[in-house]
Amino acid sequence: MNKIEHIGIAVKNLADSDGLFQRLFGAAPYKHESVESEGVTTSFFQMGESKIELLEATRPDSPIAKFIEKKGEGVHHIAFAVDDIRAEMRRLQAEGFQLLNEEPKAGADNKWVCFLHPKGTNGVLIELCQERS
């Protein structure tokens, strides 16, 4: 695993939170993107080498809607950049971690992504992401 690529924050209202984080960071989000398969709309802020991803649910059964229902708004996941997502998935599986998807899936911001079950990582949802080329 390389650096922290981004931190994902679950929010109720993306437009409101875009404004809030724009005031906090002094910079506007550089992109907005919906991921239909995940039921989310996202916005990304660049902070030096790292990014902050805001996530809003687009439907009630979206994982973000369920997360907010249970825990409220806040930090949802930490994403790590990897060079070879399949190799990293195999390595982590061999280490006994549970993957939430068996195949890399297309995520936001031009990435292949895979999530680890938070039960096996002290309650922290971990995302692996590799640049899609």
Would you tell me which residues interact with Zn ion (CB under 5 A)? 8, 53, 79, 127
Nearer CB in complex with Zn ion: 96/123: 123
Nearer CB in complex with Zn ion: 22/50: 50
What DSSP character marks residue 17? H
The tokens for 108 are 């936001």
- Report, in Å, the least distance between residue 44 CB and Zn ion: 9
Q: Is 103 left (phi over 0), alpha (psi -120 to 50) or beta?
A: beta
- Report, in Å, the least distance between residue 90 CB and Zn ion: 21
- Report, in Å, the least distance between residue 59 CB and Zn ion: 18
